Structure 1
């Protein structure tokens, strides 16, 4: 089945998130230190991803245009409202809790979808019914979901929704992607997409550390902008 890998990935986040919630009652100092450690590790991951680019100007340009589009659309605001709405439907909101749920939802959703594994794994699932890459991603996402849920709370489980929608859409469209997009062009897009996603991951890490309040979701249009620019450049 084309969507097997995607479903396994989503279920891994949900199950692991529930496990993390079981150990949520940890001392506040310990929770803070763990979150700081996670933030530092995420920054390191983002730097590793970002340095893979072969064209820094392309990355900077796409991020700038994407930021303008994202702010105009208000993606971050919509995602936060979605997280709060889902949380309100699932359980009564405690005082000040809905904001935390939305923050955890947005943060972990971005972490789980901006990497190259999400795209490559979904394409493999759609074209060859090879789910091995998404199974590996499911294991990694699950392990991180335990830690995230134990420190950030219930919103982490909600990130399974955009993960399944995003990866499922790519898997279902994989045949068309392979038919119309040359391998060289796809490889270039994935390389630069990883770099653009890496910048977003660094921003997420800085937000977790409390050093910034970057609206990372508003940078997401940089990805379709990147695809469009690479396609235009390929024509010349």
Structure 2
């Protein structure tokens, strides 16, 4: 083998070694590590939390669904997607001090609650009131999976980069993120159908109640009601 061939071989080996080192550095740099620091930032400023069928089934099994019901809301996004959300508590305002949490929730647009705290987080005691039954979304935060790729939904989360995550921990977190994606898809398929069924049943129930009320009215009261309807139509 000539000196030129030796030089070319050495050059190729060196290039391969450098390329391998760069790949190892890039792999090490991009490795995802996470350990919750219990800073509570995600509980205080998370905003609306998506709820899945998995969550509803868990709460039903454990008999705690009543704790969540006051804060659940069906929300239709601009793209037509229907989500079930755990709606945050609005910040206290002077004009809302005498209103109940339920009234405040109903009157506050979802868009105004994007940075508000979870309604089931106790700020004074710095603890989640339903930790053992926390939603699936909280269990995988800040890791997200869109069906193809993993991503970080909160790059400022203090837990990112913390040491102590084992391979088993990483696998569990990724599996949970995948499960979240699956369960979110499942409830988005079911919600529109369930919403229609519930709405229809509510309307049927209201009609039945109206018919029962009408049947119990006296002829005089029924005539008064008809006069009111005629008067209202005449004013239009």
**TM tier, smaller:** under 0.3
Larger-Rg structure: 2
TM-score norm. by structure 1 comes to 0.28
The structure with the largest helix share of the pair is 1
Normalising by structure 2, report the TM-score: 0.28
Q: Which has the higher contact order (CA 8 A, sep 6+)?
A: 1
Q: Report the structure, 1 or 2, having the larger strand content.
A: 2
